[in-house]
Amino acid sequence: MSFDGGILALPFYEPRHVERARQIESWCAEHTELWDNQADPDATGLRILRALGEHGWLAALDPAAGPEGLAAGDCRSLCLLREALAYADDLADFAFSIQALAATPIVRHGNEEQQRRYLAPMAKGTLCGAFAISEPEVGSDVAAIGLRAERVADGFVLNGKKAWIANGGIADLFCVIARTGEGPGALGLTAFLVPANTPGLTVGQRVPLIAPRSFADLEFVDCHLPQDSVLGRPGGGFVIAMEVLERFRMTVGAAAIGFARRATDAALTHAKNRSMYGARQFDLQLVKATFAEIEVELNAAALLVARAAWEADRGDPAAAKHSSIAKLYATEHAQHIVDACVQVFGAAGLVADSVPERLYRQIRSLRIYEGTSEVQKLIIAGSLGGRGRAK
């Protein structure tokens, strides 16, 4: 099972969340054929995206037509969906999460025409989105973005590069953060909506990763955009980027739990069925200690993610801190859990394309994207404010 029923029974979640969790768990079990063949991550990602849209899992990306927010406005549901999809398959979680990440800025900051034009097809899975922040020399330090957006009489002209863009090779629409220069650093950034077929935009090299996913670099050469391509207000790009990242960091923690729980279930099954020293491997004291540590870490991670999502849904000003805490703890400990499970499998855990080997490769990136673990520590420490002042 991809969920801990005891966690779902806590007051953090409402009955609708529990029902949604059971529905996505069942859906994943019934649609494994969507990700069985992953020879081409681009094709697999699009196939999964279409299915997610067809079966209503992206409906909340179009609030005007869909049910009460699941991805855009309900962080608890979003976390539960990611946990179940990550348990099922890496590319299933990837397809869902990047689509939600790309649509959320439009949901929260798009004008009526932008929402009408883009959200319905994104919710149906027929228009694939991407969120373009990173650059060859810029990662976590968003305020240092260098892609230039020069004002001209009828809009803007973009010149520069983006790097490590998830869905970069298959996206139909990019939400791009560029420098328009209203002020220094963070104050001079603006968000733009850029269709993939815009002249001057070129999808560059596909990025080969240890866990294959659809990543590519982008290049903008005299890429002309009309005035109505601006998302939100000029100079508001940093706020949009930070808001989206703060909301989604907790969901990375949720995905980490899904990966870790899948590894744990596989390792438990292996240990309980393997004979060693005249008994089951699971009955060895050190093996039991390993699983005890894993259970503690899984519970702690799930509680931190649940709290972060609950805080965000109720509008707590400290939700960003809790989102960083959840991401930091869950991803760091998921890495430890997956590594421990490979150790339980022994040599069998190193076999190419086995469950533990795949998870060992797939879990690593979660400690990097949407803010590295080191950046999360800076955010958490910076949130402490006046605490600890002696009287």
Looking only at the bridges linking them, the beta strands covering 230-231 and 189-195 are antiparallel
Distances (CA, A) of 53 to 29, 121, 171, 352, 364: 17, 9, 15, 32, 28
E-state strands within 207-283: 215-226, 230-231, 275-276, 279-280
| Pairing of the two strands 173-179 and 129-132 | parallel
Q: Using CA atoms, how far apart are residues 188 and 52, in angstroms rounded to an integer?
A: 36
**Of 25, 135, 297, 370, catalytic:** 370
Reading the block at residue 371, the tokens are 């803010």
- CA dist 38 and 86 (Å) reads 15
Examine the residue annotation and report whether 370 is marked as an active-site residue of this protein: yes
Q: What angle do CA 365, 206, 100 make, to 5 degrees?
A: 55
The secondary structure of residue 185, as a DSSP letter, is G
Apex 95 CA angle, 319 and 227, nearest 5: 75
- Cβ neighbours of residue 290 under 8 Å, at least 6 residues apart? 340, 343, 344
Q: Cite the active site residues.
A: 370
